[in-house]
Structure 1
Amino acid sequence: MAEVNKYMVFSLKNEVYGAPVEQVISVEKPMNITRVPNTAPFIKGVINLRGMILPVIDLLSKFDIGTSDITESTRLAIVQSEDIRVALLIDTAKDVLDITQDDVDPVPEVAGGIHAKYLNGVAKLEEGLMILLNLDKILDPNDIEIIKQLEV
């Protein structure tokens, strides 16, 4: 029997993404984001979530496919990657799905380039395809150092 993994499903620019549910702590409505000078362009700023200061990462900017607009449906996915907790800016949070390993294909070669390292594969769903993110790779060591300096 194929291994089953749970993924939180969300959208970015009308594309469907999945993040391993065991790394997702919560999904929150956007709150006041305080800009921090001299940080990487993909770091929108920081938020105060119940007394914890978290950096806000704009995934679209990180992936070099645009920047996120904050709308009524925008959410912050609070995720844990190794010992770092961050808020990911996502367009909409959708659902949690069980995905079997049989339904996951490796990242296509055409996805290649620098961003393929951020992906765990592509899941085939009835509605289409879902890009599975590797949260541990999205933050490279330089990013982690920047984020640790933001944590107060």
Structure 2
Amino acid sequence: MTRIDLPDEAATLALGRALALSLPDGWDRPTALLQAELGSGKTTLARGFVSALPGAQDAEVASPSFNLANVYPTKPPVVHMDLYRLGEGALDDGLEELLEAGHCPGQVALVEWAQFLPGEHTPRERLDIRILHSGAGRLAELTAHGENARRWLTRTLETFYKSG
């Protein structure tokens, strides 16, 4: 696990941008599973991510709490999901389809409230991002699962610390 101090919203946006700029080549379904309390910065991180991609000017990033999933017209496309309203163990059919391997090749998945994702739908290769309150700021804990995710994390750290 890697920890990153996020003292303010600008740092959370910067981490999101670093994640987007560091996507590894050859991974057809990059997935980041986000866990944090309400108001901890999950959507802010997603906003930073989307803002760094081509086509971001056409994307209005908002929490997908009511839609369950927003798809942004970036390159690559980003599917931004929020499982909060589903609760533990429940999964909407349409969202289940989005999560199944191979349904959305070439898209990046950002999944908020990933703790509500049933185990059988958790991708083996993924980047887990947990955001915790830390004083006035936040602390991000990143854990890579699989070789593609490890490359993503390594590149993200290089990009984040170069820009900061």
What is the TM-score with the length of structure 2 in the denominator?
A: 0.25
Structure ranking higher in strand proportion: 1
More helix per residue = 2
Q: Which has the higher Rg, Structure 1 or Structure 2?
A: 1
Higher RCO structure (Cα 8 Å, ≥6 apart): 2
How does the TM-score come out when normalised to structure 1?
Answer: 0.26
